[in-house]
Amino acid sequence: MNNKPYLIAEIAQAHDGSLGILHSYIDAVAKTGVQAIKFQMHIAEAESSIHEPFRIKFSKEDATRFDYWKRMEFTLEQWKEIKKHCNEVGLDFICSAFSNLAVDWLEEVGVHTYKIGSGEVNNLLLLEKIAATGKPIIISSGMSSFAELDETVTFLKSKNAKFSILQCTTAYPTKPEQYGLNVINELKERYQVSTGFSDHSAKISTGIAAVALGAELLEFHVVFHRDLFGPDAIASLTIEETKLLAEAVNDIHLANQNPINKNNNDAFNELKSIFEKSLAINKDLPTGHVITFDDLETKKPKGFGISAQNFKEVIGRKLKNNKSKWDFLNEEDLA
């Protein structure tokens, strides 16, 4: 991994259907140090129906989940303005498509990369449509087994699609025992593609660990405050936390790119001469005294007496002359 980790700030439904709030997120995210901002394009009639289970009644505003998706919609022209704003602040525009119609719209908008949500990994109709665009694809593996991913990966490779895979656990927020950080490199070894981590833990430490363990891409939800309304808020990072994460993972990447050779410590020669110590005695001792362990002390700097590491060679030997307390002990002092 030579390039910096690719950081994707996921807005999803954090805008709660407000175009103004969405644009505020773009400006805020642009100041955090991430490379990309991710949205979800929902076109209710194309992706859902009134029969979709509500699952969790999280909204006092929407009678059904279908109504919720309707409220999350923006027009094609509004999406074009969203993309334009991303361009202006230097953020890659990434979007999850949940319908073929959304793909048509995103092509007109000019999406940078397609994200495949966990629930769409086996939707080969949608994948066929997206693969035909030739755009990069990021797959979230959250609800998929290796057997299911095998089928999807085989399909995408048959289409010569350029894709990456993220380890993801579909739980909001994700608990540490659910992270599955081990899967990041299992995915890389199995499929020989770029891999990363899609995080729902609402903790900076998770992303840092993922990058340290080899994640090349890192996706995480972002929200102005975790107390705001929305299904993902509790599993999101704040804007300030996102800034800290971006700085931290870039530091980790730089560290990984500069391995330390513990066989060569020449760079520390000057410091070693200052901080390493020489043997000294801790009391006045007469000529002929036989040195014991209890007579010895070590004092800085190195080179003014016998090296502290060689103390065993001194024990049992006799002094040639009187020595005063705290004098260094050198070879010429010993018989």
Whether residue 239 contacts residue 30, with contact meaning beta carbons closer than 8 Å, is answered with no
Q: What is the mean pLDDT of residues 255-273?
A: 90
Whether residue 12 contacts residue 232, with contact meaning beta carbons closer than 8 Å, is answered with yes
Q: Where in the chain is the domain with CATH 3.90.1210.10?
A: 266-333
pLDDT for 52 beyond 90:
no
Question: What is the number of other CB atoms lying within 10 angstroms of the CB of residue 205?
Answer: 11
Q: Looking at 112-121, 130-139, 229-238, which range is the least confident one?
A: 229-238
**For the purposes of burial, counting CB atoms within 10 Å of the CB of 204, is it exposed (0-12), middle (13-18) or buried (19 or more)?**
buried
SS3 string of the chain?
CCCCCEEEEECCCCCCCCHHHHHHHHHHHCCCCCCEEEEEECCHHHHCCCCCCCCCCCCCCCCCHHHHHHHCCCCHHHHHHHHHHHHHHCCEEEEEECCHHHHHHHHHHCCCEEEECHHHCCCHHHHHHHHCCCCCEEEECCCCCHHHHHHHHHHHHHCCCCEEEEEECCCCCCCHHHCCCCHHHHHHHHHCCCEEEEECCCCHHHHHHHHHCCCCEEEEEECCCCCCCCCCHHHCECHHHHHHHHHHHHHHHHHHCCCCCCCCCHHHHHHHHHHCCEEEECCCECCCCECCHHHEEEECCCCCCCEHHHHHHCCCCEECCCECCCCECCHHHEC
pLDDT for 286 beyond 80:
yes
Q: So what's the pLDDT on residue 56?
A: 56
Question: What does the block give as tokens for 279?
Answer: 């043997």
Question: What does the block give as tokens for 199?
Answer: 């995080």
Give per-residue pLDDT as tens, 189-233. Answer: 999 999 999 999 999 999 999 999 999 999 999 999 998 988 889
Q: What is the mean pLDDT of residues 72-96?
A: 97
Q: Where in the chain is the domain with CATH 3.20.20.70?
A: 6-256
96: Cα separation from own chain's centroid: 21
pLDDT for 259 beyond 70:
yes
Cα atoms in the 13 Å half-sphere on the side-chain side of 188: 15
Q: What is the mean pLDDT of residues 252-270?
A: 91
Q: What is the mean pLDDT of residues 294-303?
A: 95
Provide, rounded to the nearest whole percent, the portion of the chain with pLDDT above 90: 82
Beta bridge partners of 165: 139, 195
Provide the greatest CA pair distance for the chain: 101
Beta bridge partners of 36: 8, 92
Dist CA 125 CA 257 (whole Å) = 40
pLDDT for 87 beyond 80:
yes
Q: Looking at 59-68, 101-110, 186-195, 240-249, which range is the least confident one?
A: 59-68
Residue 242 pLDDT grade (very low, low, confident, very high; cuts 50, 70, 90):
very high
| Cβ neighbours for 67, distance < 8 A, ≥ 6 positions apart | none
| Cβ neighbours for 300, distance < 8 A, ≥ 6 positions apart | 274, 275, 276, 277, 278
309: Cα separation from own chain's centroid: 42
Q: So what's the pLDDT on residue 285?
A: 97
pLDDT for 57 beyond 70:
no
φ, ψ of residue 78 to 5 degrees: the values are -65, -40
Whether residue 114 contacts residue 106, with contact meaning beta carbons closer than 8 Å, is answered with yes
Q: What is the mean pLDDT of residues 138-158?
A: 94
pLDDT for 2 beyond 90:
no
Q: So what's the pLDDT on residue 68?
A: 87
pLDDT for 55 beyond 70:
no
> Which CATH class, in words, describes the domain spanning 266-333?
alpha beta
Q: So what's the pLDDT on residue 54?
A: 62
Q: What is the mean pLDDT of residues 121-127?
A: 95
Beta bridge partners of 93: 37
pLDDT for 59 beyond 80:
no
**Mean pLDDT of the chain, nearest integer:** 93
Pairing type for strands 217-221 and 137-140 reads unpaired
* Options 3.40.190.10, 3.40.50.2000, 3.40.50.720, 3.20.20.70; CATH of 6-256: 3.20.20.70
pLDDT for 58 beyond 70:
no
pTM of the full structure: 0.85
